[in-house]
A and B are shown apart, each in its own frame.
Chain A
Amino acid sequence: MSHAAVTDRRPSTLRGASLPKWSPWAIAAGSVALGTGIGLGAGLDSTIQWGLIAAILFVLGTYVIAARVEGRRQAKDRIATSLVWVCFLAAVIPLASLIWETLKRGVKVFDVYFLTHSMGVVPDTQPGGGIYHAILGTLEQVGIATVIAVPVGVLTAVYLVEYGRGKLAKAVTFFVDVMTGIPSIVAGLFILSFWILILNMGYSGFAGSLALAILMMPVVVRSTEEMLKLVPNELREASLALGVPKWRTILKVVLPTSIGGITTGVMLAIARITGETAPVLLLVWGTNFINSNPFKDPQASLPLYIYQQYANSAGSGAAYDRAWAAALALIGFVMILNLVARGIARWKAPKTGR
């Protein structure tokens, strides 16, 4: 008896009764119709409630019908399937709505003028103005943070992978992990207490960079560590066998092999800290004017700009539109960084030899 013959005779009596393939769709359509009906009939004004009712009807309906036709085990299987689908759909709706609203509201005042002008003398209630000062501030703060965090992060990862044995390495690994979870506002408070209150340095872009660097370091360490672990040991051994000192092996063999992955990790970390508002709020303070010196006086920053425009807008008007346009700019920047980083990761992926 050939294999094909067995598969051909699938719906045989051995398998018991089963619902036709289109049944989930039919039940879905039925429950959506019923949900809409109930929603209209009961006069519920929120479409979310209609959706919830339809979802509950769908799950219940599937269970009852499947239990009658196929038995309880199959019914449980179907209910799990439908629950998983409902979970997925329920999660996609808010996330899709987020992107959609940002796009729709962001494009209103998003143009070249918006990107190339500061808020300068524009009052909050008036249209006009832009985010040039905020973009400048964000780029400088994130740039300085990157310059501080990347060497420390990469070196720590090298230590953990290439040298680290024993208690110190274990402690570093553990605290790097814990550090990943420090709330950004706590990092901000730390720099506030240390840099501004005790050293008395005043609000500046650099203070913000310090806090952002603290948030960035553990992320860089973790991703670099993963990448270094992917470098095959044979490469290291070949280099060491040729008499190359260990530090040169690391610099000339290990790091170049994993440079693609490290770059990706760094870019993802940059994308993460670019959106941080809380430390910037505490340390950089914000301004409406262009301040290109990150070491002196308050600067602006993109996430902070969004928050301030929103807080000054009372939910509508010119400032509100500007907040959304700036949000679009910020999301765009972060998404592009993410996509480019993942592109690099795919392009430069180290060959694991497996």
Chain B
Amino acid sequence: MNITTENTEAPPPAPQPSAAEQKRASRGATRAGDRIFLGLSRGSGIFLLVIMAAIAVFLTYRASLAISKDHGNFLTTFEWDTNVVPPVFGIAVLAFGTVVSSIIAMAIAVPVAVGIALFITHYAPRKLGTPIAYVIDLLAAVPSIVYGLWGALVLVPHMQGVFGWLNDYFGWTGIFSWQGGAPRALLTVGVLLAIMILPIITNVSREVFRQVPQMHEEAALALGATRWEVIRTAVLPFGRSGVISASMLGLGRALGETMAVATVLSPTFDIQASLLDPGGGTFAQNIASKFGEATDQGRDALIASGLVLFVITLLVNGAARMIIARRKEYSGANA
């Protein structure tokens, strides 16, 4: 089918004028239509690229306005006073909170999601597997604000006990010490983010596990492998790159999650050694909660922090897609 386009686009060699003219007469309308249609579709592809470029350009422009007026160091200052003159703000706390909460979320969500994906593809009775996969698909569609409401209502009170327990037994590490405030800390955020990104990691991993060649599994079984050995020797190696990219997609979600974090975290602008004491914030949460009372100056500062978030997610997603692209059979549609 591609040959046709190339033929119509190539200039006719015209060995015999009469034949060429005849050809052109019968193809004239065709060419115009084709050209317009190709132009339109190529144009929309280019339009998407332009949008991506525009996002980078406009954010950088506004961010540079803000950073040039910043009287602190944009990367290392532990403050966010944008409405005073001169403004002092920096992203150190936000970067810390974003990275830490995402790491917690990944540490919880990836193993559990791989477990669920294995459950659906290899452990659940067939009658159970399909509806479960379906329900998890649906859960991926639950809006993040609803997760936020649920987190504030159910998760926060339940974390009280967990926090106490962690403080009793692991308080000596410093990471899990707790002064007894409301459990609206980074650890809670991490747990909530883990729950939120479970469906997407599960869905993508499940697709990959489904594509493991039946022959590999049967070969392992024929050698007397137990089910776990089949999974370890045939399924997991095959699905490794898929699971990695699924996790990175989940990581991208966790990094950029806004409303759920904004409803659950009680942000302060300092870094606590303990994950259990209220402290820190994330890029997205800070933008959402500071935006309401921000002056023009403050908005530009928030845009600057948004630019950092954009670059981070771009890198994470780009890396995930590179890994997926290496395995061509699997495409991340709807992921």
Contact = CB atoms under 8 A, between A and B. Distances in A.
A139 interface: no
Given A98-B142, A306-B145, A278 B150 contact: no
Nearest to A172: B45
Contacts of A268: 141, 334
Contacts, number: 312
Contact of A331 (B143, B161, B318): B143
A277 B123 CA distance: 37
Interface in A300-352: 303, 306-307, 310, 315, 323-324, 327, 330-331, 334-335, 338-339, 342
Interface string B38-59: 1011111111110110110011
B228 A310 contact: no
Given A165-B2, A324-B149, A327-B145, A185 B287 contact: yes
A306 B153 CA distance: 14
B198 A178 contact: no
Contacts of A80: 227-228, 231
B256 A168 contact: no
A175 interface: yes
Given A44-B161, A277-B145, A245 B34 contact: yes
B45 A183 contact: no
Interface stretch (B10-18, B76-84, B213-221, B306-314): B306-314
Nearest to A93: B195
Contact of B119 (A49, A84, A165, A187): A84
Contacts of B223: none
Interface stretch (B110-118, B173-181, B268-276): B110-118
Given A102-B150, A185-B284, A274-B143, A152 B38 contact: no
B48 A217 contact: yes
Given A87-B115, A185-B256, A247-B34, A218 B48 contact: yes
Contact of A159 (B42, B123, B284, B309): B42
Contacts of A151: 44
Interface residues of B, number: 108
A334 B259 contact: no
Interface string A71-101: 0011011011101111110110011011001
A265 B306 contact: no
Interface in B157-210: 158, 160-162, 165, 195, 198, 202
Contacts of B320: 181
Contacts of B253: 181
Contact of A81 (B123, B139, B263, B303): B123
A274 B123 CA distance: 35
Contacts of B335: 180, 222
Contacts of B107: none
A338 B54 contact: no
Interface residues of A, number: 109
Contacts of A323: 149
A240 B291 contact: no
Given A84-B115, A156-B45, A282 B291 contact: yes
14 contacts: A73-B226, A77-B226, A77-B229, A81-B123, A94-B154, A94-B155, A95-B139, A182-B310, A183-B313, A185-B309, A186-B256, A246-B5, A282-B291, A303-B143
Q: Give 8 nearest A-B pairs by CB, closest first.
A: A183-B256, A275-B143, A87-B115, A46-B161, A181-B317, A247-B37, A77-B226, A159-B41
Given A177-B324, A186-B310, 14 more contacts: A46-B161, A84-B123, A94-B195, A165-B2, A168-B42, A176-B48, A181-B249, A181-B314, A183-B256, A183-B313, A217-B51, A223-B334, A268-B334, A282-B291
Interface of B: 1-2, 4-5, 29-30, 33-34, 36-38, 40-49, 51-52, 54-55, 58-59, 61-62, 111-116, 118-119, 123-124, 132, 134-135, 137-139, 141-150, 152-155, 158, 160-162, 165, 195, 198, 202, 226-229, 231, 249, 252-253, 255-259, 262-263, 284, 287-288, 291, 296, 299-300, 302-303, 306, 309-310, 313-314, 316-318, 320-321, 324-325, 331-335
